[in-house]
Amino acid sequence: MTAISIRSATLDDAAAICAIYNPYVATTTISFEEDAVTGSDMAQRIADVGKAGLPWLVAECEGRLLGYAYATRWRVRPAYRTSVESSVYLDGDAAGRGVGTLLYRALLDALRGLDVHMVIGGIAQPNPASVALHEKLGFRKVAHFSEVGRKFGGWVDVGYWELRLA
């Protein structure tokens, strides 16, 4: 495989990010969104993450995006300011090739350079690949909420994993 590079996302990446994300929206319970995200909406999300001083990274190979990872504030109250929620999504062709690990490690390294103490990953269940990725990187499961989402006519559980950075 040709070398994969990790870089900060730009607003110009919005359409390619939508192409990765929207199949999850349309066909899985991994995302709790129910409608496809537009390029302009995704560009606004990228901008908002940047304005919050947090990283949004993309993995790229030969000019093609293979996946992305970003962090958002865990909650809005000031006392939560050192906790973030992380997300990572891969193009279907990139799954199982180490791209998720590469991206997530880069995100965690970027967060270590900020005033971030705790990273929280919420994972719709079941999702053994995402659980394995989080646990491989040192996250530990701390919560499980039953039937907190409803999509495609069924109830969806969500588990939460945490990783203390400092």
In the chain, where does DSSP find H-type helix?
14-27, 39-51, 99-112, 128-136
User: Bridge-partner residues for 60, per DSSP?
Assistant: 5, 65
Count of CB atoms within 10 A of residue 122's CB?
A: 17
The pTM is what? 0.95
The token duo for 39 is 């390029």
Q: What local confidence, expressed as pLDDT, does residue 63 receive?
A: 92
Q: Which residues are bridge partners to 164 per DSSP?
A: 118
Contact 117, 85 (CB under 8 A): no
**CA nearest neighbour of 46 among 78, 82, 76, 20:** 20
- pLDDT by residue for the chain (166 residues), tens only, comes to 579 999 999 999 999 999 999 999 999 999 999 999 999 999 999 999 999 999 999 999 999 999 999 999 999 999 999 999 999 999 988 888 899 999 999 999 999 999 999 999 999 999 999 999 999 999 999 999 999 999 999 999 999 999 999 7
As a whole number of angstroms, the distance between CA 145 and CA 107 comes to 26
Which CATH class for the 5-164 domain? alpha beta
Beta-carbon contacts of residue 12 (< 8 Å; ≥ 6 apart): none
Q: Is the Cα torsion angle 2, 12, 52, 129 positive or negative in sign? A: negative
The ranges assigned to domains in the chain are 5-164
Which residues are within 8 A (CB) of 47 and not within 5 positions of it... i.e. 6 or more apart? 11
Tracing tokens 């390619």 back to the chain, one arrives at 16
Helix, strand, coil percent content, the chain, rounded in steps of 5: 35, 35, 30
